[in-house]
């Protein structure tokens, strides 16, 4: 009888057991599979407390689903993954492909280190419906514009969800592993202050998705823009850590008709698009995608820092902006429409560089995702793909009146304005002496700042 073979399944942004291509690959190749997660300080560094706490929660749920058979080690993956593979007697380490700038480099190093021990690093699937790099123009060039990408993405197609095989997988018991491995237990969640996080894990993701399908989906195309309504999926943190795979969601959407399903499908494609762009242009995580914007004049110094603090803390005197910034701190999440409004305010009204805002978002968002975050910020700033026309500058007051027409969203997050009725929360100038005294005056005048932004844009565009 042949000896038993084993493989390692190294979890990263795929913290689930259902519809897991790398798990299938591992189970198809070996008799037993060791589940591994590596606490990589390098990866966790830019992640703020909310995202780290959510990650630890997801790890706890995953470990529970594995009956505790999840090995957690701390260290540099290029060192510890080969150690674990050797200790497990594995001939292959299986992963979902990571196409991010850091993950890609890390996996190259790990693959090299593994190869020295005759262990293969096998990448199967990715956290995207279509793995970045696969959708190209007919000449093989990557897309820079969403709409043609979206058409090609739909033509390319995405695989159907794979059936769950968890019962047929024999999981290796990490308790039987040598003690010299740098194993740790899941750390206590970092203090997230007053931030209330979503329920972590695969089951929570699945339940939330079912609830969305049965309710808000049919009106998603309308309600997704309304921060005062609960019309969005709230799936972003789960998608980020892979508690659910996007193709699982797409399969449900494809089984339904309607504008809501089509609208959400396109949002999922946006997520794929930004990952694809970052795969082809990794420097877009830090630098302007359109390098002409390198010459854009930004404000700096004490005054600018004070305005940045006002923005961060939600005391700009623009209610929809302040509500959004306070929601970010309260929930580690902000409604998408409001993300655009506060981003536009930072860039076009305060004249601060987009990356200052992007960094703040990454520190506080539970769903903080490098590709989506950085490229959406660049979109607002005008330096990204599909850049907004120069004249598309959000008016924070108009946006508030339009998308929070009854003022419910603002009142939820800005207690100083709770005494105001209806949409008057957006129109304090109408109140005269009745305006709340404990809410700040606008830190800048939008009309003036809009003009300045247009002038600065003209200065770099050669007009």
Partner DNA sequence: TTTTGAGTTGTTCGA
Partner DNA sequence: GTCGAACAACTCAAA
Binding site for DNA (CB under 7 A): 137-138, 141, 143-149, 151-152, 225, 267, 270, 336-337, 340, 376, 379, 386, 388-395, 398-399, 402, 446-447, 450, 461-463
Q: How far is the CB of 93 from DNA (least distance, A)?
A: 35
- DSSP string over 28-84: HH-SEEEEEEEE-HHHHTT--HHHHHHHHHHHHHHHHHTTT-EEEEES-HHHHHHHH
Sign of CA dihedral 20, 273, 56, 71: positive
Return the number of the residue (157 or 301) whose C-beta is nearest DNA: 157
Q: Whole-number minimum distance, CB 387 to DNA, in Å?
A: 7
CB of 424 to DNA, least distance (A): 13
The residue (of 99 and 372) whose beta carbon lies closer to DNA is: 372
End-to-end alpha carbon distance in the chain? 78
Q: Which uninterrupted H or E stretch holds 308?
A: helix 302-312
Query: At closest approach, how far in Å is the CB of 229 from DNA?
Result: 15
Minimum distance, C-beta of residue 364 to DNA, in the bound complex (Å)? 19
Measured CA to CA in angstroms, residue 273 lies from 129, 204, 382, 398 at distances of 10, 26, 17, 30
Q: Is the CB of residue 212 less than 8 Å from the CB of residue 231? A: no
Q: Output 17 or 380, the one with its CB closest to DNA.
A: 380
For DNA, the closer of residues 291 and 418 by Cβ is 291
Q: Among residues 13, 30, 2, which one has the least CA distance to residue 171?
A: 30
The rounded distance, in Å, linking the Cα atoms of 409 and 327 is: 10
Query: Which residue, among 54, 396, 71, has the nearest Cα to 243 in the 3D structure?
Result: 54
DSSP states along 142-160: PP-SHHHHHHHHHHH--PP
SS3 398: helix
- Residue 91, H or E segment: strand 90-95
- With respect to DNA, which residue has the nearer C-beta, 355 or 394? 394
Q: Shortest gap between Cβ of 411 and DNA (angstroms)?
A: 21
CB of 147 to DNA, least distance (A): 3
> Residue 121 corresponds to which tokens in the numbers above?
């690093």
Nearer to DNA, 17 or 268 (CB): 268
CB of 34 to DNA, least distance (A): 39
Which residue, 66 or 393, is less far from DNA as judged by CB?
Answer: 393
Nearer to DNA by Cβ, of 117 and 137: the residue is 137
């Amino acid at each position: 009888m042949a000896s038993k073979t084993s493989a390692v399944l190294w979890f990263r942004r795929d913290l689930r057991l259902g519809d897991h291509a790398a798990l299938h690959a591992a189970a198809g190749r070996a008799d037993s599979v060791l589940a591994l997660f590596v606490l990589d300080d390098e990866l966790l560094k830019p992640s703020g407390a909310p995202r780290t706490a959510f990650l630890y929660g997801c790890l706890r749920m995953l470990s529970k689903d594995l009956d505790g058979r999840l090995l957690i080690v701390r260290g540099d993956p290029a060192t510890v993954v080969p150690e674990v593979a050797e200790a497990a007697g594995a001939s292959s380490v299986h992963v979902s492909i990571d196409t991010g700038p850091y993950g890609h480099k890390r996996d190259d190093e790990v693959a090299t280190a593994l190869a020295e021990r005759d262990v293969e690093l096998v990448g199967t699937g990715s956290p995207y419906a279509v793995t970045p790099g696969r959708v190209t123009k007919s000449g093989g060039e990557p897309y820079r514009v969403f709409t043609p990408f979206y058409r090609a993405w739909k033509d390319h197609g995405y695989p159907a969800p794979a059936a769950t095989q968890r019962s047929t997988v024999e999981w290796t018991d990490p308790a039987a592993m040598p003690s010299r491995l740098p194993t740790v237990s899941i750390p206590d969640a970092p203090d997230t202050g007053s931030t209330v996080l979503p329920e972590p894990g695969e089951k929570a993701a699945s339940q939330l998705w079912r609830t969305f399908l049965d309710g808000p989906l049919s009106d998603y195309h309308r309600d997704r823009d309304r921060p005062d309504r609960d019309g969005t999926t709230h799936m972003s943190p789960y998608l980020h850590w892979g508690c659910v795979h996007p193709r699982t969601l797409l399969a449900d959407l494809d089984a339904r008709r309607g504008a809501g399903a089509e609208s959400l499908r396109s949002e999922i494609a946006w997520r794929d698009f930004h990952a694809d762009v970052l795969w082809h242009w990794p420097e877009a995580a830090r630098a302007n995608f359109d390098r002409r914007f390198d010459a854009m004049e930004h404000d700096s110094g004490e005054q600018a820092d004070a305005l940045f603090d006002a923005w961060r803390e939600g005391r700009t005197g623009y209610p929809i902006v302040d509500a959004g910034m306070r929601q970010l701190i309260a929930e580690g999440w902000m409604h998408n429409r409001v993300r655009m409004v506060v981003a536009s305010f930072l860039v076009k009204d305060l004249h601060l560089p987009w990356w200052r805002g992007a960094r703040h978002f990454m520190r506080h968002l539970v769903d903080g995702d490098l590709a989506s975050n950085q490229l959406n910020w660049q979109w607002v700033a005008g330096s990204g793909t599909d850049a907004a026309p120069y004249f598309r500058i959000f008016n924070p007051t108009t946006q508030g009146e339009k998308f929070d027409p009854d003022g419910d969203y603002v009142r939820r997050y800005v207690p100083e304005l709770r005494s105001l009725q209806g949409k008057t929360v957006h129109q304090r100038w109408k109140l005269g002496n009745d305006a709340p005294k404990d809410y700040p005056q606008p830190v800048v005048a939008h009309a003036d700042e809009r003009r300045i932004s247009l002038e600065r844009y003209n200065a770099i565009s050669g007009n």
